[in-house]
Structure 1
Amino acid sequence: MTAMPLLLLVLLLLNHADAVFRFASYYGDHMVLQQKPARAVVWGYGEVGAVVTVTLSEGIDTISNTTVDVNGDVGIWKVVLDPMDYGGPYHLIAQQNITGAITSIHLQDVLFGDVWICGGQSNMGMTVSEIFNASQEMAKAAKYPFVRLFTAALQTSKTELLDLPKVALNWSIPTPQNLGHGNYTYFSAVCWIFGRHLAHKLKYPIGLVESVWAGTLVEAWSSKTALSKCGLYEMPKEWPQRCFDITCGYSVLWNAMIHPLLNMTIKGAIWYQGEQNTGMSPNLYNCTFPALIQDWRRSFHEGSLGETDPNFPFGFVQLSTFLKNSPEDKYPVIRWHQTADYGYVPNPKMPNTFMAVAMDLGDEMSPYESIHPRDKATVAYRLYLGARAVAYGERRVLFQGPFPETIDVSYTDSYMNITYNQELLVTHISDNIFEVFCSTGKDMTGNSQYTWVTAPAQASSSNVVKVSFIGCSHVAAVRYAWSDWPCEYKACPIYSVRNRLPAPAFIKYV
């Protein structure tokens, strides 16, 4: 008479354990975990009071074995694996024991390598099927089976979520189908090409985690903590009428699409966003973007129990182009603010960062509108160069375009010499790409008046450009490429001799 109730109790425990014992949403077959020197974090859900043992094995050999308790109100278990060299495949088993009831869950084909987060808006979201040479790029999938892909689904939340509420693409080996899904969903062309370049160079697995939503603001991807650093606490009342959808709110994408990933140990992140901020709080971007980077670094470091580098490398794409002959300067303002107003990175406010300049990649005939240029291969390659230099410490890799070191002004001859920090490849310099802030006399109160006027320029040596300002009694500043669409495709006037990288836009006071 006592055996039946005991059997029923065991069955109930088994069924209940099966219902709750699982890995977090972004763990799965074919995934990449972060290699040493960092240690990968693995976590999931279980029955409160249970014991979970996580075993990593290769064939019949056990590599590591870790046991933890399931804690917290919702029942969370979290283990930190031993440091692992790159490679695989491995088999990961998590086994829960609660009052003698054993439940096991398995992950197959797990690799160790470097894990990169890819974030931003639609230009990061453009898939391989939507770019130049799409069919050739998709055909490369078979050559990179150790590049693995994962995409978070589009979700928002008013509060920080523990786990992703939905996944768009579970960890997958690249195929023409998942690379070319289309419609800005998965998989990101910039992320993929960046990752395959790294895999080709480094000769080990690369995991790519895409968390992207088109038409979104930096404020939506930022935590409340990050926003408070810039004095932002309440969303402006007019914003809902100016946004595409519900993604307008402060922190709503951070809460649902970044915060759930924080327990993951990562190598670094790349980012392509800013178009939406050209029309909404553009003058705060020199604070909000650096604050996002700092906060993501702190948060991933803490979430991974200290395993993710607190200063992990962060790369981004400087905005490309949108409208030819636009009278507004929204795009150059954001380009400048993307560098915290230094014009280049890394800089004191943005350490361990790298940037891909894209203002020479305009695509007026893009079927996805000119705001979505199709040359994502060049963007990704420029990011890759930055990653090699900044993330992987290759000192001889040139990843920055030329930038002014000194500006010497001669009022006697009405010109200035702009000396760049590297040898220049100079083509025809149009008369309107350099401008000077020229004195036009005095106003009624006797104060000097200034206006921006175009200034002819020419190369005068291997690293010097001479800019004339005849007719100006005084100049207060000079700027370069300060327009939405400063030059035609790959035809800006100034590039580096090595690697042919474009000189970024700048504004300098003299």
Structure 2
Amino acid sequence: MKRIFLLACLAVAFQLTSFGQLRIPHVLSDNMVLQRNTKANIWGWGYASVEVAIKASWLDDTVKTKVDGGGRWMAELPTTQAGGPYELEILSAGSKITLHNILLGDVWLCSGQSNMEWGGNQQLPEILDELPGANDHQIRLLQVSRTAADYPQDDIPNSWQTLSAESLKPFSAIGYFIAKKLRAELDVPIGIINASWGGTPAEVWTPSYLIENDSELGHLEAMLNPSQHWPTEAGVLWNSMIRPLTPFVLSGFYWYQGESNVGTWWGYDKLMRTMVTSWRMAWNSELPFYFVQIAPFAYGNEKPLAALLREQQDKTAKILPNTGMVVVSDLVDNVKDIHPTQKREVANRLAAIALHEHYGLNNGKDYRSPLYSGYKAQGKTITISFDYLENGLQVVGDRITDLYIAGADRIFHEAVGTIKGNELIVSSPAVNAPMAVRFGFTETAMPNLFNTNGLPVAPFRTDNWGL
């Protein structure tokens, strides 16, 4: 009995020691990129009230903090201009953790559903072509495992990796091409975190209390169809795939999602504003949020629900500060495939907004797709004006496609569009007193109207009539 009692005491002592010993989360690892020119958070767990000392090879001074009564600690570590590789030592109560091959640069978080998630494992040709030359060690990747949790988590099971064919193949194609573009333009190390899960609605990426305490958002969540392949419960991926990352200092977010919310399109703008605001609050910063408008796809709905969701995304881009929307209506080869294979150009368009608006590199105008801003009906024509348009419009082909006009009877007729500077003049012989215009306002439309920089005009309608 004495031996059993002694073994039990030793087991308890071992558990207390292992829980109290110095630990850090997996996001702090070898090969990581820390945000340059800021105060990066370094955090973890240890013995209560014990001092923690942090030594960074790019600093002369040692940063010190204390473990609180709950066994947690955090320190702000000054970072300098881009560079590396560096080492980081964390010491406490006789324990030491050393991290190697650290770079100082810019870190971006990519999230969403399958069009953000997909890469070489899905045999995307653009990524397969990249694999043999994937050797830029100034690009670092962090792939967050798919896992859901009912309660907020403190850690993920994944660590940073250097770029290689092995690490790139399962990674987000869009995330990688963003990193490659930013590297080429900025010449600084880039870290990309991919936390995506195909098929997921936006509710799962939003803290659950924000959904449950809002009657409209709660009703929309209840309308989601359960799936055996992805979670649909509010907050469960926020808890496990986003929340553990929130102390890690970022440059901003990239987002590609919306297909799984088409059936509840009318609440999508509110849902996105709620989600983005919650993320910014969690990071305690008004970080930029750049996203992709969903692509043309034959959903098979009786009404153009996907067009209505795109309209909601357009609304978010106009209302929510420090956001930017990329339009991809010209990058689809097959409207029966919900996964367009062209990811490089999507990434380049996302990166272009960041390069202009976040980094202040003014490499030309019209780096965003034009967004409908207003109309004026006069006589037999309607004149359409646009935001984010300075150098005019162009048509690829003989005439503008997917353009319709209607009068008081609300019957839409195919229309003729004429470009006049930064405006579009719309008319039809069948409509003498026009009242409304719709452009690309179907689920599968791939119109041929662009700015002079080759970016497609976002679909729009001037009316709010029922469909």
- Scaled by the length of structure 1, the TM-score of the pair is 0.81
Which residue of structure 2 aligns with residue 481 of structure 1?
440
Larger relative helix fraction: 2
Which residue of structure 2 aligns with residue 384 of structure 1?
351
Instruction: State the shift of 1:134 in Å.
Output: 2.9
Which residue of structure 1 aligns with residue 39 of structure 2?
39
Contact kept? 1:230, 1:287, Cα under 8 Å: no
Q: Once the two structures are superposed, what CA deviation does each residue of 1:122-157 show, in whole Å capped at 9, x if it has no partner?
A: 000011453233333223421x21110001111111
Distance 1:27 1:371 in 2: 35
Which residue of structure 1 aligns with residue 77 of structure 2?
81
After superposition, the Cα gap between the structure-2 partners of 1:465 and 1:360, relative to the gap in structure 1 and judged at 3 Å, is: same
Which residue of structure 1 aligns with residue 397 of structure 2?
428
After superposition, the Cα gap between the structure-2 partners of 1:233 and 1:286, relative to the gap in structure 1 and judged at 3 Å, is: closer
Instruction: State the shift of 1:229 in Å.
Output: 7.9
Which residue of structure 2 aligns with residue 358 of structure 1?
328
Contact kept? 2:126, 2:343, Cα under 8 Å: no
Contact kept? 2:212, 2:218, Cα under 8 Å: no
After superposition, the Cα gap between the structure-2 partners of 1:68 and 1:17, relative to the gap in structure 1 and judged at 3 Å, is: farther
Which residue of structure 1 aligns with residue 203 of structure 2?
219
Which residue of structure 2 aligns with residue 445 of structure 1?
none
Structure 1 residue 262 and structure 2 residue 255: aligned?
no
After superposition, the Cα gap between the structure-2 partners of 1:270 and 1:241, relative to the gap in structure 1 and judged at 3 Å, is: closer
Distance 2:221 2:57 in 1: 55
Instruction: State the shift of 1:437 in Å.
Output: 4.1
Distance 1:494 1:121 in 2: 28
Which residue of structure 1 aligns with residue 408 of structure 2?
439
Distance 1:111 1:264 in 2: 14
Which residue of structure 2 aligns with residue 56 of structure 1?
56
Which of 354-363 and 115-124 deviates more?
A: 354-363
Distance 2:304 2:82 in 1: 46
Distance 1:177 1:246 in 2: 25
Q: Secondary structure at the match of 2:269?
A: helix
Which of 19-28 and 234-243 deviates more?
A: 234-243
Which residue of structure 2 aligns with residue 307 of structure 1?
none
Distance 1:189 1:248 in 2: 24
Which residue of structure 1 aligns with residue 279 of structure 2?
296
Q: Map 1:234-313 onto structure 2 (within 5 A).
A: 234=218, 239=223, 241-245=225-229, 247-279=231-263, 281-301=264-284, 310-313=285-288
Which residue of structure 2 aligns with residue 147 of structure 1?
139
Q: Secondary structure at the match of 1:339?
A: helix
Q: 1:135 aligns with which of 104, 125, 128?
A: 128
Which residue of structure 2 aligns with residue 68 of structure 1?
65
Contact kept? 1:55, 1:64, Cα under 8 Å: yes
Contact kept? 1:235, 1:249, Cα under 8 Å: no
Distance 1:89 1:323 in 2: 48
Structure 1 residue 328 and structure 2 residue 282: aligned?
no
Q: Which runs of 5+ in 1 are unaligned?
A: 1-8, 182-186, 302-309, 441-449
Q: Secondary structure at the match of 1:113?
A: strand
Q: 2:451 aligns with which of 471, 480, 496?
A: 496
Matched residue type, 1:283:
W
Instruction: State the shift of 1:106 in Å.
Output: 0.8
Structure 1 residue 172 and structure 2 residue 172: aligned?
no
Distance 1:91 1:132 in 2: 37
Contact kept? 2:405, 2:415, Cα under 8 Å: no
Distance 2:257 2:371 in 1: 23
Which residue of structure 2 aligns with residue 305 of structure 1?
none
Instruction: State the shift of 1:15 in Å.
Output: 9.5
Matched residue type, 2:66:
D
After superposition, the Cα gap between the structure-2 partners of 1:127 and 1:419, relative to the gap in structure 1 and judged at 3 Å, is: same
Distance 1:218 1:14 in 2: 39
Q: Which runs of 5+ in 2 are unaligned?
A: 1-9
Matched residue type, 1:418:
I
Which of 220-229 and 248-257 deviates more?
A: 220-229
Which residue of structure 2 aligns with residue 443 of structure 1?
none
* RMSD of aligned residue pairs (Cα, Å): 2.7
Structure 1 residue 125 and structure 2 residue 114: aligned?
no
Distance 2:357 2:425 in 1: 32
Q: Once the two structures are superposed, what CA deviation does each residue of 1:310-368 show, in whole Å capped at 9, x if it has no partner?
A: 21111111111221886531211111111326xxx4x3x21111121112212328xxx
Instruction: State the shift of 1:158 in Å.
Output: 1.5
- Scaled by the length of structure 2, the TM-score of the pair is 0.88
Matched residue type, 2:26:
S
Q: Once the two structures are superposed, what CA deviation does each residue of 1:36-65 show, in whole Å capped at 9, x if it has no partner?
A: 1x211011121223221111115xxx5331
Contact kept? 2:382, 2:435, Cα under 8 Å: no
Instruction: State the shift of 1:238 in Å.
Output: 5.5
Q: Secondary structure at the match of 2:328?
A: coil
Distance 2:442 2:129 in 1: 33
Distance 2:275 2:224 in 1: 22
Contact kept? 2:127, 2:173, Cα under 8 Å: no
Contact kept? 1:415, 1:467, Cα under 8 Å: yes
Q: Secondary structure at the match of 1:211?
A: strand
Alignment identity in percent? 26
Distance 2:227 2:15 in 1: 48
Q: Secondary structure at the match of 2:280?
A: helix
Distance 2:226 2:428 in 1: 41
Q: Once the two structures are superposed, what CA deviation does each residue of 1:9-33 show, in whole Å capped at 9, x if it has no partner?
A: 9xx7899259732211211100001
Moved over 6 A (4+): 12-15
Matched residue type, 2:22:
F
Q: Once the two structures are superposed, what CA deviation does each residue of 1:265-284 show, in whole Å capped at 9, x if it has no partner?
A: 111010000000012x2110
Matched residue type, 1:151:
Q
